[in-house]
């Protein structure tokens, strides 16, 4: 007589199901525990659906807001903005960042230009155009105000986004839109 037990298929199925469920619980628990670790190592998104991008230095590394805000009030700091455009950010007297950035691209023939601290102007070295702090033309031959962008700080990241609404300096649709 054969006394061996018959293979209990339903029992095996239950065990497999139990193993599967236990494994799932362990996997999901491990996943939940590792999420903050993974989040730490994965850099934050560098652009969003609204066309905003994170400001970077000339080497392409994100610039923390704290790095620019460590500079004295009145500083114009150059960052790489939308499409890599060099863009001036201003440290305000209250130690925050101006929410408008000025694109460093002369509207005459496209030269870049420095900020003159004494005259409080952007002064183009190519043909002498001058712009006020908000990018309005003070002296030609530049025909148009400097392009501006939105600047916002979130979690120590600086976000640059396109300015597509009315240009507050002219009251008109921006020339670059």
* Shortest Å distance, C-beta 132 to ligand FES: 15
* Shortest Å distance, C-beta 116 to ligand FES: 14
Q: How far apart are CA 132 and CA 97, in angstroms?
A: 18
- CB-CB neighbours of 165 under 10 Å: 10
Instruction: Determine which residue in the list 14, 39, 58, 127 makes contact with ligand FES, applying CB under 6 A.
Output: 127
The smaller minimum CB distance to ligand FES, of residues 92 and 127, is found at: 127
Query: Does the footprint of ligand FES cover residue 144 (CB under 6 A)?
Result: no
Our CA dihedral for 94, 97, 99, 104, rounded to 10 degrees, sits at: 130
Instruction: Determine which residue in the list 56, 64, 85, 111 makes contact with ligand FES, applying CB under 6 A.
Output: 111
Rg (CA), the chain: 28
Binding site for ligand FES (CB under 6 A): 106, 108-111, 124, 126-129, 141-142
């Amino acid at each position: 007589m054969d006394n061996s037990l018959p293979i209990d298929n339903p029992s095996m199925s239950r065990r497999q199901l139990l193993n599967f469920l236990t494994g799932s619980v362990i996997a999901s628990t491990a996943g939940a525990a590792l999420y903050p670790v993974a989040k730490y190592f994965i850099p934050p998104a560098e652009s969003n659906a609204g066309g905003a991008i994170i400001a970077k230095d000339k080497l392409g590394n994100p610039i923390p807001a704290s790095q620019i805000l460590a500079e004295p009030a009145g500083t114009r700091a150059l960052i790489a903005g939308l499409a890599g455009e060099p863009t001036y950010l201003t440290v305000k007297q209250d130690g925050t960042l101006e929410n408008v950035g000025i694109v460093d691209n002369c509207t005459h023939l496209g030269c870049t230009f420095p900020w003159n601290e004494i005259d409080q102007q952007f002064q183009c070295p190519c043909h002498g155009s001058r712009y006020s702090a908000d990018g309005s033309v003070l002296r030609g031959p530049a025909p148009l105000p400097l392009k501006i962008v939105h600047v916002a700080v979130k979690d120590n990241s600086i976000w640059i986004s396109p300015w597509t609404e009315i240009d507050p300096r002219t009251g008109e649709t921006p020339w670059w839109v």
